[in-house]
Amino acid sequence: MYEKDGEKYFVVDGHQHFWDASPANWVKGQEQYAKGWIECFHAYMGLGPPETHWPLEKFMKYSEDDYVNDVFEEGHIDRGILQSTYLKEWYADGFNTAERNARMVEKFPDKLIVNGRFDPREGEPGLKQLEEDAKRYNLKGVKVYTAEWYKGSRGWKLTDPEAQMFLDKCKELGIKNIHAHKGPTIWPLDKDAFDVKDIDIAATSNPELNFIVEHVGLPRIEDFCFMATQEPNVYAGLAVVIGGLMHARPRFFNKVMGELLFWVGEDKILFGSDYAIWEPKWQVEGFIAWQMPDTEEYSDYPHPTTVTKKKIMGLNAAKLYDIEVPAELQLQNGGSPAAKEDAQLVESA
């Protein structure tokens, strides 16, 4: 819970990791990829405030104590959703597998949720594994990373026929939240790998599932917005927007948030810190303190209210994951007095 100016916020971090990218976990012969991957993540950390930067060695493998301190003690997080990314072509035991994440969940069962994953290229054994994972970890969500390399293939799409088999399996198993992350490689390689068209089609054909597009489709935020505005079951995951822009590119941050609020709307945007790329503390505090500037440049963007922020910081994710929100942290009659005041200010402006 985070409290600011008498307002209390229930904070759900919809996108975080507990990874091991240390050299001991690099696959022999693939070291350049394992090293390049984590160094690239580490570069992104450099987009946050300098006092939050870590040395690369700590960044490659941080401890449970680091996690508990950064997320729960300092980071204001009430509930965290640990996303699983395997990358086993490069990391021997996986980058952050459901198994590794689940060890953390066992220690904090009331605070953490683990999401599984699937890769349609794994076929029948993959379906079986998903079934086992769903039972073992009580999965309500999965993360899919379409740019993962697998036995000579450099990616896949949600419209691949095999992918639909996995989406059907998700429905059967009670997994309703699909967190999709687009990456730079996909088959065939001549197509724009960041295009979100396949998520659009999958969302239309599977209305009983929710599709949370991580990093709001960056670097194709325009494709994402045009799609999300038409699809009731497509959500925006804010990871990278806050971490990558709020400090380093504040003007772009205002505009990207303005576009998201306009096209996608405050009911379909979910906070995610992307920890350990960025610590949650400065992101939570900064986002709740953030205001759309009252200048001409931003005049036709929606201005966020306290209600907007309460929804984005936790209430929207709580709905998708059936997380019980303490009564005092729920919205009172759709909005608090402060929020109404904010709304009037905007309307009269």
Which residues lie near another protein (CB under 8 A)? 33, 36-37, 39-40, 43-44, 46-47, 50, 53, 154, 183-185, 187-194, 218-222, 225-226, 244-245, 247-252, 255-256, 259, 263
- Give the DSSP letter of residue 46: T
Least Cβ distance, residue 264 to another protein (angstroms): 12
Least Cβ distance, residue 102 to another protein (angstroms): 28
Contacts of 125 (CB under 8 A, 6+ apart): none
Count of residues for the chain?
A: 349
Distances (CA, A) of 28 to 23, 42, 89, 157, 291: 10, 22, 10, 28, 49
Least Cβ distance, residue 34 to another protein (angstroms): 11
Least Cβ distance, residue 241 to another protein (angstroms): 9
Complex with another protein: residue 120 or 141, whichever CB lies closer? 120
Complex with another protein: residue 207 or 250, whichever CB lies closer? 250
Distances (CA, A) of 65 to 46, 68, 72, 241: 22, 5, 10, 27
Contacts of 72 (CB under 8 A, 6+ apart): 108, 111
Least Cβ distance, residue 201 to another protein (angstroms): 18
Complex with another protein: residue 77 or 196, whichever CB lies closer? 196
Complex with another protein: residue 69 or 185, whichever CB lies closer? 185
Distances (CA, A) of 121 to 33, 127, 132, 228: 21, 10, 18, 27
Complex with another protein: residue 46 or 123, whichever CB lies closer? 46
Least Cβ distance, residue 327 to another protein (angstroms): 39
- CA dist., res. 252 & res. 271, Å (int): 18
Complex with another protein: residue 77 or 256, whichever CB lies closer? 256
Least Cβ distance, residue 295 to another protein (angstroms): 13
The tokens of 30 are what?
Answer: 């693939």
- CA dist., res. 142 & res. 134, Å (int): 9
Least Cβ distance, residue 43 to another protein (angstroms): 3
DSSP 203-263: HHH-TTSEEEEGGGGTT-HHHHHHHHTT-TTEEEE-TTHIIIIITT-HHHHHHHHHHHHHH
Q: Is 96 left (phi over 0), alpha (psi -120 to 50) or beta?
A: beta
Complex with another protein: residue 157 or 247, whichever CB lies closer? 247
- CA dist., res. 4 & res. 74, Å (int): 15
Complex with another protein: residue 44 or 72, whichever CB lies closer? 44
